[in-house]
A and B are shown apart, each in its own frame.
Chain A
């Protein structure tokens, strides 16, 4: 991987029986065959206790005896098998076990078990009430129900009680408040009814209600958990590590969380700079496109500042870390991020908005029912029974499922289109959008530079340059290797930091590097730059013959034009905001036919533009990848980020899209529109259900059986409506694949 040693101890945790444990994110696991291959392959190593692949989260858990094999060998073996793996930083992995999910599942199991058993008893009582049950048997059954229901409500009701109290303590009402009141009143009243030998008790309603709501809660949680675990994998695979130089001069790779201010960090050629800091020694040039959006390389020398997320060119740098100082770019970005995300938290989800209206309405109706029947001359207890049945039948069972059910289905569909959601309510916010801001570098364009011209394979000079470029990990050199298809490196290559490479070939000097290094004068470079605005130049020279200039630039993503056109047709306003230079942005905007563009934007300016639009009442989708986009991503109404983005931007974005194409942007908007429609339909279904059910309940005609049937029916209705989204979408997806297949057979295999 890198020339220096990684500090594996930081990733390894002790396991039982003297073994050690490590979790790895593995890239490239696609099928069951990979799973067997990895597990079998690793077990061939000495000392491996167990190796188990988790296909769902694409992770590998290995236990081994420490003195027989090492973490390094394991990763090497994996790469021999063809998989890139990266260990998780244990500091960021504290939440590895999904405690909340398991707790919800346990509550769900308990509620399900209790619900089934109480139903068994209740059905006997209901049918007995109609025929010939003796009062003793009925009381016995009621007591048995109470025996099961009381501990169940105490156990399985905790998630709701906690959240309801949390909301009340903060002075708000959420959906859990009526749930908790309804359940507890129902249980308490049932106990009283049982004590007084009444015909009816409502234990089964309370428990079944909890069961249905827990289903919704678990679905909701599951969706978020899955996205989070993929995001963590991506973060781990992107190697969030830094090579720290110790006091004794040794270089060890440690997780970023263990780097402190004042540490000295080494950045090898071609690596991403992991920290903000000042260069102590070394010469290189830096690709700052992820930070500033500018794709031209910037030379750096000792004393200059470098930023996390930028790509180092050819030279090795020693960087003194200064993350704590308040003036770094990262700090500025962080400060902007914080204010921006605070502004966004004011967004209220549809479900919560519905609950705000709903809770007072339900409580009011129940209270009025109680008072009404009292005034009509009924005793307090039967009046309370009726008002509780109003509470129970209106209890937002369908409401509790309405949103999570749609979210789960929609996030699954989005995942198929290569979109991972970071936050559950992003779907709703996507549907509000009317304006889209695009960053240019790395978003509309591909993250890696590409050679501008088509190469002639017979071009001897260029293929020589490609072979020379194999010796370097500079991004432009990598692009040249790719373009020329070189595979045989040249011997004895000397690398001059910040300038280029040279070697002797057929007795003459062969040089590859910056135009000045190869003796090209400024005028000629200037002319070439005018032809290809915003390009980075690389030159090749062999002996005294004239040098050859190659222009590299970040190409537009393959479907950028198509996607922009489609978005414009759908009526979205589109703007490009980029930190790149004016000619580069102008050129890109011309190709894409976007009249509204701004260049040279700093993070604060991007935010300012965003706020300007939002002040006009626009709902803005921000699509960007750079560090300079992060605050805008956090501040926008909703945001998308490609998987190649820097970590901070991915964390700030509401969703991340995979792959090299821009198509997911269209998919995200289309699917969210449909999902929001389904959510609204679901809320209407629940409202309609209440309109029908409440008068019947208020009139006092509702038996527990009817309440249970009505409740289940409404829940099934909203779930079925959510699944409808999937059916319609499957047709759409297959049609899209056919289209893609017929227009462009080569693109068929990217999914």
Chain B
């Protein structure tokens, strides 16, 4: 069971990493416009050489 000494902190760290990522994305306003975001990915204007 000694391996738990490593596994549990790693599990907690990974979880905390996910939490931090979520809190960061929340703070940077990525959930403000869920409706628009799903359409933006279909928009090709950001590709090089595609300036309509």
Contacts and interface: CB of A to CB of B under 8 A. Distances in A.
Interface residues on A, range: 20 to 34
Contact of A36 (B11, B23, B35, B45): B45
A137 interface: yes
A31 B35 CA distance: 10
B15 A117 contact: yes
B36 A55 contact: yes
Nearest to B43: A36
A153 to B, nearest CB: 16
B3 to A, nearest CB: 12
Contacts of B34: 56
16 contacts: A32-B39, A35-B39, A40-B45, A40-B52, A53-B36, A54-B33, A55-B33, A55-B36, A56-B34, A105-B31, A106-B26, A109-B19, A113-B15, A120-B11, A137-B4, A148-B12
Interface of A is mostly: helix
A744 B6 CA distance: 70
Interface string B8-43: 100110011011001100110001111110011011
Contacts of A31: 39
A54 B35 CA distance: 8
Interface in A375-392: none
A109 B32 contact: no
B1 interface: yes
Contacts of A120: 11
A116 B39 CA distance: 32
A31 B18 CA distance: 32
Contact of B26 (A36, A57, A102, A117): A102
A56 B42 CA distance: 17
A32 B36 contact: yes
Contacts of B32: 54, 56
Contact of A32 (B18, B19, B42, B52): B42
Instruction: Kindly list the 9 A-B residue pairs having the minimum CB-CB distance in the complex, ordered from nearest.
Output: A32-B39, A55-B36, A56-B35, A55-B35, A54-B33, A113-B19, A56-B33, A109-B22, A117-B15
Given A102-B26, A137-B1, A117 B36 contact: no
A120 B1 CA distance: 16
Contacts of B1: 134, 137
Nearest to B12: A117
Contacts of A53: 33, 36
Interface in A32-81: 32, 35-36, 40, 53-57
A110 interface: yes
Contacts of A57: 33
A36 B46 CA distance: 11
Nearest to A116: B15
A156 to B, nearest CB: 12
Interface of B: 1, 4, 8, 11-12, 15-16, 18-19, 22-23, 26-27, 31-36, 39-40, 42-43, 45, 52
B27 to A, nearest CB: 8
A35 B41 CA distance: 12
A102 B26 CA distance: 8
Nearest to B27: A102
A233 B42 CA distance: 27
B36 A109 contact: no
A40 B43 CA distance: 12
Contacts of A102: 26-27
B36 A35 contact: yes
A281 B11 CA distance: 77
Contacts of A40: 45, 52
From A31, A32, A57, A120, name the one whose CB has the most chain B CB atoms within 10 angstroms. A32
A280 B13 CA distance: 72
A144 interface: yes
A377 B22 CA distance: 50
Contacts of B42: 32
Contacts of B23: 106, 109
Contacts of B15: 113, 116-117
A121 B15 CA distance: 13
Given A40-B45, A54-B32, A105-B31, 19 more contacts: A31-B39, A32-B43, A35-B40, A36-B43, A40-B52, A53-B33, A54-B33, A54-B36, A55-B33, A55-B35, A55-B36, A105-B26, A106-B26, A113-B16, A117-B12, A120-B11, A137-B4, A144-B8, A148-B12
A148 to B, nearest CB: 8
A102 B28 CA distance: 11
A117 B12 CA distance: 7
A228 to B, nearest CB: 15
Interface string A556-595: 0000000000000000000000000000000000000000
Contacts of A134: 1
A120 B15 CA distance: 12
Contacts of A137: 1, 4
Interface string A496-532: 0000000000000000000000000000000000000
Nearest to B9: A144
Contacts of B27: 102
A139 to B, nearest CB: 13
Contacts of A109: 19, 22-23, 26
A56 B43 contact: no
Interface in A455-496: none
A53 B36 CA distance: 8
